[in-house]
């Protein structure tokens, strides 16, 4: 099970770029004791080699994550951006995507990683769910929706 605390959910946030956003989300998880600072470096290094931007509809999303190193407790952090930031496309490293939502996954159990990625990917294929996530006003609403998706 993934911890999804309201403090991990940033709604209508402004950042300069993808790296800053990853650092901000990881700082939330680190402050809660879910990860160590090693995880931040692992996510950034992985993003450099294996980009996580996805050209979903009605807007692009990204799913940065690392391996289990530095993860004390599985958790999901989320950001909905006022202005998109650039992530490279997972399927085409040379393509830049303007990403509006970012789901940062930290997992300490290998078997749960595949399941969580599949469930989130299923949601990314549903434009209605992403549109709904875009209009939710309160972190508790976002938390409930994401918990429901990850526990299906």
Residue 1 lies inside a defined structural domain of this protein: no
Residue 43, pLDDT above cutoff 90: yes
Residue 11 lies inside a defined structural domain of this protein: yes
Residue 111, pLDDT above cutoff 90: no
Residue 52, pLDDT above cutoff 90: yes
Mean pLDDT along residues 28-49 = 96
With 0-12 / 13-18 / 19 or more C-beta atoms within 10 angstroms meaning exposed / middle / buried, residue 73 is: middle
* Closest to 36 (Cα-Cα) out of 74, 77, 71: 71
Residue 96 lies inside a defined structural domain of this protein: yes
Residue 107 lies inside a defined structural domain of this protein: yes
Give the tokens for residue 14. Answer: 């402004």
Mean pLDDT along residues 61-69 = 93
The pTM for the full model equals: 0.95
Mean pLDDT along residues 109-130 = 90
Query: Looking at the 3D structure of the chain, how many domains does it have?
Result: 1
Conformational region of residue 132, where left means phi above 0, alpha means psi within -120 to 50, and beta covers everything else? alpha
Angle at 123 between CA 76 and CA 91, to 5 degrees: 90
The CATH code of the domain that includes 70 is: 3.40.930.10
Residue 140 lies inside a defined structural domain of this protein: yes
Residue 151, pLDDT above cutoff 90: no
Its domain, for residue 102, covers: 6-151
At 114, is the pLDDT very low, low, confident or very high (cuts 50, 70, 90)?
A: confident
Mean pLDDT along residues 19-38 = 97
Mean pLDDT for the chain overall: 95
Residue 69 lies inside a defined structural domain of this protein: yes
Residue 66 lies inside a defined structural domain of this protein: yes
C-alpha torsion 40→8→133→54, nearest 10:
0
């Amino acid at each position: 099970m993934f911890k999804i605390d309201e403090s991990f959910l940033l709604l209508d946030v402004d950042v300069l770029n993808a790296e800053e956003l990853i650092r901000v989300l990881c700082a939330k998880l680190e402050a809660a004791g879910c990860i160590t600072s090693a995880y931040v470096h692992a996510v950034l290094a992985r993003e450099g080699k294996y980009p996580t931007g996805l050209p979903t509809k009605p807007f692009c999303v990204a799913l940065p994550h690392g391996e289990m190193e530095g993860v004390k407790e599985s958790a999901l952090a989320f950001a909905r951006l006022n202005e998109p930031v650039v992530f490279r496309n997972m399927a085409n490293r040379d393509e830049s995507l303007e990403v509006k939502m970012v789901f940062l996954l930290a997992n300490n159990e290998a078997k749960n990683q595949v399941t969580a990625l599949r469930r989130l990917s299923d949601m990314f294929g549903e434009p209605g769910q992403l549109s709904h996530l875009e209009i939710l006003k309160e972190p508790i609403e976002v938390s409930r929706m994401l918990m429901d998706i990850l526990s299906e």
